[in-house]
Amino acid sequence: MKRAIILFLLIISIPITLQAQSPHQPKRLLLELNVPADEFIETLDRDYPRVTILETFETLFDGIAIEGQMHQLDRIVEDEAVKQAYPITTYSVTPEKVQFIEQGKIPSRPKNADQHTYTGKGVKIGVIDTGIDYTHPDLEANYQGGYDLVDFDDDPMETTSTQGIPTIHGTHVAGIIAANGTVQGVAPDAELYGYRALGPGGFGTSVQVIAAIEKAVNDGMDIINLSLGNRVNGPDYPTSLAVNQAIKHGVSVVIANGNSGPNEWTVGSPATATDAISVGASTQKYQTPILIEPKQNKQIQIKQISNTKDWTLNRDYSVEYHGLGIDALPDLTGKIVLFKRGEISFAEKITNAIQANAEAVIIFNNSPDPIEAGVEGSETLDIPAVFISQDDGEWLMEQIERSNQLWLKTKYETRENHIANFSSRGPVTANWEIKPDIVAPGVDIMSTIPNGYASLQGTSMAAPYVTGALAVLKEAHPNWTPAQLKAALLTQANRIDDQTPTEQGMGEVNLSKSIHTSVLITNSMINFGLIDERVNRQTEHVTITNVSDAPIKVRFSRPPIKKGVRWTLPKSTTLNPNEAKTLPIQLSIRPDQLKTGIYQDYLTVEIDRKDYHLPYLFINQTAEFPHIAGFEVEQSYKDEQIYHIRLQLANTTESLMIELYDPVTYAYLGELLYAENLEAGLFETTIDLSDEKQLDQYLLNVTITTDNETTYYQHTIH
C-alpha cells in the first residue's frame, strides 16, 4: 500500500533523503500475507531460524513484522504467501530553515469547550499518528502506553531532530483530546495511548496505519482517533475497511475528513468508512482584519504569525518591499514592510523590521502550499506581523514596482460560525454517502507540541475535539455501543445555517446536549443514492430510540412541494421509555422533471416538541464527480520493474486503458492494460515494465470511458 497517508493539518513541508544502510546491518520489513500469520511463521521458523518476528497481525489483516539480514529477507519476500512487503526505513534530513511555532499566550481550555462534570475518566483513547511526546507536562499524567509501528518497539515518541524530520502532530492531537495542565483538553482525565504509524516528516504507509488500528483494537481501546488519510474518495479503500472492522469489534473510530475543500467529492479515505465518525472543521464567530489596497479595492486575507502582536492598525500606512529581509533596512518609521518568505527565519525578518522602526510586517509565501507561520520563543515580538499567500504577496510587490508607492488600510469584519474553507466535502463516490458526519472547531486550535504549545488548524484538530467529546459521553453512558455514542453526538449537533449536508453532516458538535439527550436517531444521514431512468423510487429507514423515562411524540414535517419529487413519510407516532421504532422514508423521483446533479437538504422531524434536522441526498442520473476518485502507483519491493496500481472507480466503467509514454519526448511506448465493464469500486492491477525501454521515469496515461464520455488521467512514475 502506497506511502499515501497524510496529516490533515496545514503545515510546513520539508524534503527528506533516505540514508543507505550497511548490507550487514539487520533490516526490517512489514509483510502483508495471503495466508494466516501463524501458518507463515511456521515456515519462517523452519527455513529462517535467525529471522526475528517483531509483531504479528491477524485481527484486521494477515501480516507480520520481521527483522533479518538482507539476503534472508530478499528470499522471504519471493514466497507466494507474501502479498506485499514494506521496508521499515531509516531517514536522514535536509531541512529547509524555517522557525516553527511555540506559543506564548495559552488559553486554559480549548475554544468553546463545554463545561460539565464529566472528564473522560477511565476511557481509553488510542491516538494513531506521528507519536506522542509523553514527557510533556500537560500529557505525562494521562499517557498510559502504546506502540511504535514505524520502529516496532514500545516507545511511540514523536520523531526528534536527531532521527529525521521532527514531528509534532500527534502531540498536538493528544493535547486537544486529553491535555491536563496549562492546556486543558476536552476530556482531561481520559487515558491516552500513542500508536506511531507515521515516521519522520509525518510519512507512513496504509498498512502501517492498519497495523496500528489492529494494535489499538487488541489493546482494548474504547476510541481510536485518526487525524490522517489520503485523497482516495472511495468506501472500499483498505484503511476504510479496516476502520469498519474495528468498529465491529466494539471500538469507536473518529477520523479527520481531510483538508482538500471547498469543492464537493474531496473527502478521502479512511474518512469514507461508513461506520466511522468523520469530522469536518468549523470556525467560531470572530473578528478578523482584512487588508485593502484602496485604488483597486483589492482585499487581502491575512494570517497572524504566532508570538507577534495582534494586528490592530486603524489608519492607512505606506508599504515598502525589502525582498527576503536579509540586507540592512532603511528607517521604516510609520511604514509597513513587506518581505518574501525564505533564506532566513520569520523571527530574523521580524527582528530586523523592529530594529528599523517599522510599524508592522507582512511576509508572503514563496510557494502555493499553505503553511502555519510562527516564531520560536516564549516572548511575544513587539510588532504586528502577518502572513499572506504567494499570489497576494506577488500582487503587492508588482504594485510597488509599478508605481513606487503603495498604501494599505485595514478593515475589520465579523465572521460568523461556518465551515472552514479547507475542510473536505462529500459525498463519497460509489455508495454516495454523506460525509462528514459532524463538524467541530478546527481553526486556530491551541494545544501541546514537544517542548511547548502551538496554535494549528485543520480537520486534524477538529477530529480530536470530537474524540474528546466521545470520551466524555462514554463516561456518562458507559454501556452505550459505538453506534449509540455516534447517534448521540449526531442527533444533538447544531446545524449551521446556509451550509449543506456534504459540508457539515448533522452540524457542529454540542457535547452538553449529547450527554443529556432523551432521544437517539440512528441512520440519520439519509442517502437515496443514484436515481436513474430505471430506478425512481427509494426507501430508506431511520431508527428513533427513546432513552428517557417518559413517552415522546414523533412527527415528520413534509418538505416544500417540488416538481418531480414526492415524499411518503411516516405517520405521527409515540415512543414509550426505552422503545425504538424503525420508520420508512420513501422518496419518489421523476428524473425527467429534474436537472441532473446532486440534490441535498434537511428533512425535519419534531421529537418531544423539538426540531431535528436529518440530512438527505440523492443524485439525479449523473453528477460532476471524478470518474477516478483515487490513483495510486507503488513500486514493488520484490522487483523494481513491477508496479502495483490502485484505481478508485466512482461508477461503472465501460472501458479502461493504461498506456505508457516517455514523459520527456512523449513517445508512445505501448499499451499496458485494457479492461471492459468494470464495476464501481477499487480496481487493482499490476504492470511489469521489465520488457519496456528502460527510462528514469515513465508517464502512465489512463483512459476511462463511462456513458460514452471519455476522460484522461496521467501519472508519472520514477
Question: 554-587 b/e with 16+ CB inside 10 Å = b?
Answer: bebeeeeeeeebeeebbeeeebeeeeeeebebeb
Distance CA 141, CA 419 (A): 34
At 137, list the grid cell: 507536562
Phi, psi of 374 (to 5 degrees): -165, 170
Residues present in the chain in total: 718
Q: Are 613 and 495 in contact (CB under 8 A)?
A: yes
What's the sign of the alpha-carbon dihedral 179, 181, 183, 188? positive
Select which of 62, 129, 222, 437 is catalytic: 129
Strand partners, 307: none
Q: Are 219 and 156 in contact (CB under 8 A)?
A: no
Strand partners, 358: 333
Select which of 169, 172, 322, 418 is catalytic: 169
At 223, list the grid cell: 476510541
Burial tier of 146 (Cβ tally within 10 Å: 0-12, 13-18, 19+): buried
Please name the amino acid found at residue 426: G
Strand 381-388 relative to strand 308-309, pairing: parallel
Considering only CA atoms, give the Rg of the chain. 27
Identify whether 460 is a catalytic site residue: yes
Identify whether 169 is a catalytic site residue: yes
User: What is the distance between the terminal CA atoms of the chain, rounded to a whole angstrom?
Assistant: 17
At 363, list the grid cell: 511576509
Select which of 206, 260, 424, 460 is catalytic: 460
Burial tier of 279 (Cβ tally within 10 Å: 0-12, 13-18, 19+): buried
Distance CA 290, CA 311 (A): 10
What's the sign of the alpha-carbon dihedral 385, 387, 393, 396? negative
What's the sign of the alpha-carbon dihedral 321, 326, 332, 335? positive
Question: 426-443 b/e with 16+ CB inside 10 Å = b?
Answer: bbbbbbbbbbbbbbbbbb
Q: How far is CA 80 from CA 46, 68, 456, 641, in A?
A: 16, 19, 46, 18
Active-site residues: which are they? 129, 169, 460
